[in-house]
């Protein structure tokens, strides 16, 4: 699969929520301009703004857009418009042979977790969890977010590094103020380990349990984070379920919690303390991952080395 670079052609599509849910095409023009300024050319799928009672296109429309993007030889990479809640509806209907025969970068976060892990599980093709199309209209924190994305999509090996500062504000609404705080990745348990990177949004990744679309590498490192909709109670029960489905992680990396989760340092440590396996492997938390901003980009299916003593994360594709 070729890496992306300036001049590459990106197809924008909506595997979960329609762009209509976030204001439509015009409300996201600044994202288009930002990507074009980076040197990319953009096209939009046929149904990216189609929306129904649940703010997404039909299953058939979303599947058709994905197949069209993978089947178009002029398309170098695919960006999801935004997340949502129902991309797992598409998994039984995707043509994984078509995808495997036409490998190309696909990137998104949040609900796109389901598609990214399923594609890796069914084809072995690495996928990317990082900014969606609409993420590029964010202003504060964008230099770090863009630099991390460009590094991930353009290099065979790269390091994840902490952002200078982070925010848990409505980044998509320029009328609302942003409040930034210093970034501080933290260690729960020491050690260094390597494995295949899998995971993403915790509740969405959990939807794959027991299905043919759950990745099953021999040695795996879990990257997990929670969205605004799931508070600390949901995190507690979702983490239990994942550790029952994936009982032998080599390491665990947790993203920061949005303020809506009502997670506190004391609550998080209490929850982690309940799991003996987490006292035996390297565990890093409060990283720049997914539902706080800015966010780094990871490669699902790549080899990742986590050094909790150095608070370092190295990815090799």
The predicted structure's pLDDT at residue 290: 78
Q: Is the pTM of this model over 0.75?
A: yes
Q: Give the CATH number for residue 297.
A: 3.50.30.60
List residues with catalytic annotation.
110, 225, 291
Q: Considering the domain boundaries, does residue 80 fall inside one?
A: yes
Do 110 and 177 fall into the same domain?
Answer: no
178 in the same domain as 113: no
Q: How many angstroms separate the CA atoms of 233 and 141, rounded?
A: 29
- What is the per-residue pLDDT across 211-225, written as a single tens digit (0 to 9) for each? 999 999 999 999 999
Range of the domain at 298: 165-316
280 within a domain of the structure (yes/no): yes
Q: What is the pLDDT of residues 113-126, one digit of tens each?
A: 999 999 999 999 99
User: Is the domain of 311 the same as that of 187?
Assistant: yes
How many structural domains are present in the chain?
A: 2
pLDDT in tens, 226-276: 999 999 999 999 999 999 999 999 999 999 999 999 999 999 999 999 999
Let me know if residue 3 belongs to a domain.
no
Please write the tens of the pLDDT for every residue from 78-108.
999 999 999 999 999 999 999 999 999 999 9
Q: Quick one: 182 and 300 in the same domain? A: yes
Same domain, 22 and 77: yes
Q: Are residues 41 and 174 in the same domain?
A: no
Task: Name the helix (H) or strand (E) containing 80.
Answer: strand 77-80
**Residue 4 domain-assigned?**
no
Mean pLDDT, the chain, rounded, equals 96
Q: Do 292 and 182 share a structural domain?
A: yes
pLDDT per residue over 62-79, tens digit each? 999 999 999 999 999 999
Please indicate, yes or no, if residue 255 is contained in any of the structural domains. Answer: yes
Are 171 and 310 within one domain? yes
* CATH at residue 25: 3.40.50.10740
Q: Taking Cα atoms as reference points, which of 80, 118, 85 lies closest to residue 99? A: 118
Helices 265-273, 232-245: axis angle to 10 degrees equals 30
Q: What percent of the chain has pLDDT over 70?
A: 100
> And the tokens for 91?
């998994």
């Amino acid at each position: 699969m070729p890496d992306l670079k300036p001049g590459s052609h990106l197809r924008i599509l909506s595997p979960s929520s329609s762009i209509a849910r976030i204001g439509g095409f015009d409300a996201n023009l600044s994202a288009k301009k930002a990507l074009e300024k980076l040197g990319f050319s953009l096209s939009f799928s046929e149904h990216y703004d189609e929306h129904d009672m649940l703010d997404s296109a039909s299953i058939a429309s979303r599947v058709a857009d994905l197949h069209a993007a993978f089947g178009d030889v002029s398309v170098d990479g695919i960006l999801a418009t935004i997340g949502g809640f129902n991309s797992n509806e598409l998994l039984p209907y995707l043509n994984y042979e078509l995808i495997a025969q036409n490998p190309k970068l696909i990137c998104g976060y949040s609900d796109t977790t389901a598609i990214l892990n399923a594609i890796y599980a069914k084809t072995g093709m690495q996928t990317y969890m990082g900014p969606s199309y609409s993420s590029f209209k964010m202003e504060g924190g964008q230099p770090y977010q863009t630099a991390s994305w460009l590094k991930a999509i353009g290099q065979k090996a790269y390091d994840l590094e902490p952002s200078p500062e982070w925010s848990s504000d409505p980044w998509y609404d320029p009328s609302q103020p942003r409040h930034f705080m210093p970034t501080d990745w933290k260690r729960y348990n020491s050690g260094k380990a390597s494995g295949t990177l899998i995971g993403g949004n915790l509740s969405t990744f959990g939807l794959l349990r027991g299905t043919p679309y759950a990745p099953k590498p021999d040695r795996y490192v879990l990257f997990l984070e929670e969205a605004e909709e799931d508070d600390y109670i949901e995190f507690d029960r979702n983490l239990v379920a994942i550790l029952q489905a994936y009982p032998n992680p080599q390491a665990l990396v947790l993203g920061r919690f949005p303020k809506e989760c009502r997670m506190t340092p004391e609550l998080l440590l209490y929850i982690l303390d309940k799991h003996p396996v987490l006292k035996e492997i390297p565990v890093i938390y409060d990283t720049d991952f997914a539902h706080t901003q800015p966010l780094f980009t990871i490669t699902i299916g790549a080899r990742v080395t986590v050094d909790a003593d150095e608070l370092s994360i190295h990815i090799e594709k």
